[in-house]
């Protein structure tokens, strides 16, 4: 039933660092199971200390934080290959909640075993830290977007990042990829109102740069989008996988 790490379909993508056979075997031993969840399922809650950590095998989701006034900040979108629960695993408390947007299947690991990464498999521990660094890097870029980019620049930035990431995961076919989020999700990710997000997306469509509708994202002019977004490096960050 469950996917064997040995046959993990994710590792074939070039974005992911190679993994030694020993590492693969180690992870297999560490993997306690597989979990399938439906759209809308909460996976981790802010402030909680989950006993389980996950690597996303497939499906998409999002990380978010709620404020006391009811407003929601989407911290990041979650794609296959992402590791979920690092903060719980290391600090013992999540700083955000995690929720499934589509059906997802997750590889399940035991939090209590994390220490074995460090004790027995330093290579794996290094990969975990690497993943944390990648996340920090990305959050810094997101911060720059919310703080310094205009609405249209922000949207362009987000679509470029999504598209490039999707492409690196083999999710793009004929110039389009599945993008199952709601406009409200993206609005909450960029600190924009739903209305303005909608109008700005219409502007991008009119400029023949990107079309997003019915859960499908088509980028017609990636370089044009990147120019608006002031992005110079279109290569996706190479990263390890757990």
Binding site for DNA (CB under 7 A): 150-152, 182-184, 191-202, 213
SS3 at position 32: strand
User: How many CA atoms are closer than 13 Å to the CA of 51, on its beta-carbon side?
Assistant: 1
Q: In whole angstroms, how close is the CB of 220 to its own copies at the nearest point?
A: 22
Rounded Cα distance between 82 and 87, Å, is 13
Residue with smaller CB distance to DNA, 106 or 151:
151
Kindly state whether residue 191 participates in binding its own copies, applying the rule CB under 8 A: yes
The listed partner (its own copies, DNA, none) that binds 27, CB under 5 to 8 Å by sort, is none
Cross-strand bridge partners of residue 62: 77, 99
SS3 content of the chain, % helix, strand, coil (to 5): 45, 25, 30
**Binding region for its own copies (CB under 8 A) out of 6-14, 88-96, 197-205, 209-217:** 88-96
Distance of CA 202 to the CA centre of its chain: 25
**Binding region for its own copies (CB under 8 A) out of 3-11, 115-123, 166-174, 198-206:** 115-123
The listed partner (DNA, its own copies, none) that binds 195, CB under 5 to 8 Å by sort, is DNA
Matching residue, tokens 């199971």: 33
Rounded Cα distance between 214 and 186, Å, is 14
The listed partner (its own copies, DNA, none) that binds 152, CB under 5 to 8 Å by sort, is DNA
Kindly state whether residue 135 participates in binding its own copies, applying the rule CB under 8 A: yes
Q: Are 179 and 216 in contact (CB under 8 A)?
A: yes
What value, to the nearest 5°, has the Cα angle with vertex 160 and ends 195 and 189? 40
Q: In whole angstroms, how close is the CB of 191 to DNA at the nearest point?
A: 6
Q: In whole angstroms, how close is the CB of 12 to its own copies at the nearest point?
A: 22
Among 32, 36, 202, 230, binds its own copies (CB under 8 A): 230
Backbone angles phi, psi at 121, to 5 degrees: -135, 75
What are the strands of the beta sheet with 61-66, ordered from one edge?
42-44, 97-100, 61-66, 72-78
Residue with smaller CB distance to its own copies, 172 or 231:
231
Distance of CA 126 to the CA centre of its chain: 20
- Binders in 58-77 for its own copies, by CB under 8 A: 63, 65, 67-69, 71-73, 75
Which positions touch its own copies (CB under 8 A)? 63, 65, 67-69, 71-73, 75, 86-87, 90-91, 95-96, 115, 118-119, 122-123, 125-126, 128-130, 132-137, 139-144, 146-149, 188-191, 230, 232, 237
């Amino acid at each position: 039933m469950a996917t064997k790490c040995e046959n993990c379909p994710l590792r074939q993508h070039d974005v992911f660092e190679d993994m030694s056979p020993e590492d693969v075997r180690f992870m297999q031993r560490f993997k306690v199971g597989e979990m399938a969840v439906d759209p809308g399922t909460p996976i981790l809650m802010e402030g909680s200390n989950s006993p389980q950590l996950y690597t996303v095998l497939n499906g998409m989701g999002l990380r978010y934080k709620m404020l006391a006034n009811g407003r929601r900040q989407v911290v990041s979108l979650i794609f296959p290959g992402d590791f979920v629960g690092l903060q719980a695993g290391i600090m013992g408390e999540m700083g955000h909640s995690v929720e499934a947007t589509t059906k997802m299947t997750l590889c399940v690991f035991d939090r209590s075993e994390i220490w074995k990464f460090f004790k027995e498999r330093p290579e794996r521990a290094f990969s975990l830290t690497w993943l944390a660094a990648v996340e920090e890097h990305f959050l810094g870029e997101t911060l720059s977007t919310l703080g310094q980019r205009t609405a249209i620049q922000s949207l362009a930035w987000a679509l470029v990042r999504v598209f490039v990431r999707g492409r690196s995961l083999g999710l793009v076919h004929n110039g389009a990829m599945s993008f199952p989020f709601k406009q409200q999700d993206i609005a909450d990710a960029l600190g924009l109102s739903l209305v303005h997000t909608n109008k700005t997306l219409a502007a991008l469509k009119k400029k023949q740069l990107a079309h997003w509708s019915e859960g499908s994202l088509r980028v017609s002019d990636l370089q044009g989008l990147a120019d608006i977004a002031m992005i110079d490096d279109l290569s996706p960050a190479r990263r390890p996988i757990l």
